[in-house]
Amino acid sequence: MVHTTVKPSATSYYVNRMLQDLSLRRAEQRGFPHRARQRGFSLIELLIVIAIILIILSIALPQMSKSRMHAQEMAAIKTMNTINTTEIQYQSQFGKFATTMAQLGPPPSGGAEGPEAAGLIPPNLATGSSSGYNFTITQTPAGYAVSAMPKTFNSTGRRTFYTDQTGIIRENWGQDPATPTSSEIK
């Protein structure tokens, strides 16, 4: 008598395949269509991910705006220091303080530098605007005064600044312009 042996793994594979096919046919006959296994994300999974991203953004964006506004305020303070330094340079060269930002800026169309355009500050600052702030110089009996106001209050800055020939920078927490009596930045 000859016995043939069939590998158990091959037999179990084919038997399992036949049983699966049989159960799928029965399910289809009962009205349950066969669904092929789909790859990818379901709509609910995508909506959950989008909701999580929106929550993170709602927390992060206000903090980012505050950080940007704080950076613009720090840049305005640095610009006030720059204006003080250039006013001293201007006074040592021409014997008087500049009364406008244009006098500290470069000459128009590449002309020669002089009291009307000393070339001590960059062109963008000579227009009176930089880093979200507007800067103005006014002549005073003792010398000059510089004020800095945010272009858009509570967006580009929360503080206004003031300095004069003393070199002390003062601040005001509000929309009102800072004055010589405002608190000093230390």
Does residue 63 sit within a domain?
no
Neighbouring-strand partners of residue 157: 153
- Residue 16 has what pLDDT? 73
- Residue 32 has what pLDDT? 61
b/e sequence 149-177, b meaning 16+ C-beta within 10 Å: bbeeeeebbbbbbbbbbeeebbbbeeeee
Residue 33 has pLDDT above 80, yes or no: no
- Residue 149 has what pLDDT? 96
- Residue 86 has what pLDDT? 95
Task: Say how many domains are in the chain.
Answer: 1
Does residue 26 sit within a domain?
no
Taking the alpha carbons at both ends of the chain, their separation in whole angstroms is 107
Integer CA distances (angstroms), 138 to 15, 34, 59, 120, 185, in order: 96, 83, 42, 18, 21
- Report residue 173 as tokens: 């927490």
Does residue 11 sit within a domain?
no
Does residue 79 sit within a domain?
yes
Short-list 167, 168, 172, CA closest to 182: 172
| Cα 33 versus chain centre, distance | 53
- Residue 37 has what pLDDT? 56
Supply the pTM of this predicted model: 0.69
| pLDDT band at residue 95 using 50, 70 and 90 as cut-offs | very high
Q: Which residue has the higher pLDDT, 78 or 9?
A: 78
Structural domain boundaries enclosing 77: 70-184
Residue 35 has pLDDT above 80, yes or no: no
What would the mean pLDDT of 17-27 be, rounded to a whole number? Answer: 71
Does residue 64 sit within a domain?
no
The CA distance from 58 to 50, in Å, is 12
